[in-house]
Amino acid sequence: MALIVKKFALITLVVAMTSTAFAQPTQETRTTGGPRRQLATILFAGLGGAVIGLSTLSFYGRPQDKLANIAIGFAGGVILGTTIVTYKAATNPSEFYGQVKPQSEDEFEFSRSRMKTAPEAPLYVLNFDF
């Protein structure tokens, strides 16, 4: 019985180690930045501030009289988180807006030369019939 268990374990180990994993192909999705991440940053900063406000209660003889420290800590965290998010959006707008880098002149000329252009129509026509 022990020999069968050892063989089964060996076969399972060999199959697990030699199997090929196929990963999902990469997609051009933007995972960083955006309003969802900014809101999460603000909320987590607020929760961190609330935890800091909660930790100050142990320094009071009657902590139930100072429960406002939790709300003050939350408000301070939200203000700090909003400041951080605003600073990041102002200094690096491409993270939020997803702007791509502009094309170089060579790339622009190459793509422009491959475009099919229609014949230019005159802007106005003068007709001199008497």
- Pick the closest to residue 45 from 90, 87, 3 (CA basis): 87
pTM above 0.85, yes or no: no
d(CA 109, CA 88): 34
By the 8 A CB rule, do 79 and 28 touch? no
Span 36-86, pLDDT tens digits:
889 999 999 999 999 999 999 999 999 899 999 999 999 999 999 999 999
Span 9-43, pLDDT tens digits:
777 766 666 656 656 665 555 555 678 889 999 99
d(CA 110, CA 102): 14
Q: Is 12 helix (H, G, I), strand (E, B) or coil?
A: helix
Tell me how far the alpha carbon of residue 62 is from its chain's centroid: 43
d(CA 78, CA 47): 8
What residue segments make up the domains of the chain, in order of their start? 32-95
